[in-house]
Each structure stands twice: as structure tokens, then as C-alpha cells.
A = this chain, B = another copy of it.
Amino acid sequence: MTDFVTGSTHSADALPVSAVDPLADLPGYLLRRAANSMMAELGTRLNAHELRISEATVLLLINDRTDLTSAEIGKLLEIQRANMVPLLARLETAGLIHRVPINRKSQAIVLTPHGRTRLDEVRAVTQKFEADLLERIPAQHRPHLVPALQALLG
């Protein structure tokens, strides 16, 4: 059998992970491995819609807002101002967003009609993904994940 996440092929009756990998009980290490696995999975699903995770995240954040600037999106998503430039350029080239001048210095990033349609696809993908992710977690631990992760963010 092949593991859904890791792709490893240990049999089900093998020793616990920690016996073969002494790091497998460390929360920080697990956090990185789990995030990498889950983001690889999400990336694959979004790739079918020709979007990167960062691009889909921007679409979800903008939604119907018409007041967000590039710098504000970056702050909310923890993306450097400089790194927003190529990201938004790709979304603009794909016809998913357009720029509405606020003044001569700032411009709002707004979804185009096509962008709104694509956002509906993104929402379907991410909702399915989030549901699948939660289903992998045993019920008794499930309600604790979001609060625990939020605590790590401050």
C-alpha cells in the first residue's frame, strides 16, 4: 500500500513512525511535514485550474472587496510587497483581476467578472480540500487543530 501523503510504502503493521524516524514526535517537525504534504496536495488540485496556491489565496481574500490595495493584500497574507508584483501581474494577464485607481499613488485590486467565476471554482476546490483535510484527523483531535494553529500565529 502506498501512503496518501508521504508516498512511502511502509506496511500497516510496521513499527510506529517514531521508531524509524526519531523526529516524528516533534511538533515543529511535524508541522513542517504536514504543511508540506497538505500544500503539495492542494497545489496539485489547484494546478488543474491553472492557479498557484498564492494566486488562489489572493482571489479568496479579495472576493467582492473593491478597496484592497496590493500592499494591503500583502500585509494580510504575509506576502512581501515586492513579491505581490509578479503575482498580481499573472492574475491580471489571466484576466482575473483589474486595477482601479484610488488616487495617483494607490490602486485597488478588484476581481473581473471572469475572476469572480474562477473564484467560484477555487472556492469549491478549497472547501473540498479543507473538508478532506479535517476528515483525516481523528474526531477527538479535530476541533483542537484550528485553535492550536491560530495560537501559533499570535
Neighbour of A24 across the interface among B136, B138, B150, CB < 8 A: B150
Task: Assess the A154–B26 pair: CB atoms within 8 A.
Answer: no
Q: Which residues of B contact A147 (CB under 8 A)?
A: 138, 141
Neighbour of A141 across the interface among B20, B34, B148, CB < 8 A: B148
Task: Assess the B152–A37 pair: CB atoms within 8 A.
Answer: yes
- Complex Cα distance, B150 from A3, in Å, reads 13
Nearest CB on B from A41, distance (A): 9
Task: Assess the A151–B146 pair: CB atoms within 8 A.
Answer: no
9 A-B pairs with the lowest CB-CB distances in the bound complex, closest first: A35-B35, A144-B144, A30-B149, A34-B152, A3-B154, A141-B148, A141-B144, A34-B149, A137-B151
Given contacts A26-B126, A28-B39, A141-B144, 4 further A-B contacts (CB under 8 A): A21-B77, A27-B130, A33-B78, A34-B152
Q: What residues make up the interface of A, taking CB atoms closer than 8 Å to B?
A: 3-6, 8, 10, 17, 20-39, 42, 53, 57, 60-61, 63, 75-78, 126, 129-130, 133-134, 136-138, 140-142, 144-154
Enumerate 17 A-B pairs (CB-CB under 8 Å) in ascending A order. Answer: A17-B150, A20-B76, A21-B77, A27-B130, A27-B133, A28-B42, A30-B149, A31-B31, A32-B53, A33-B153, A34-B35, A34-B152, A133-B152, A137-B151, A141-B148, A144-B144, A144-B148
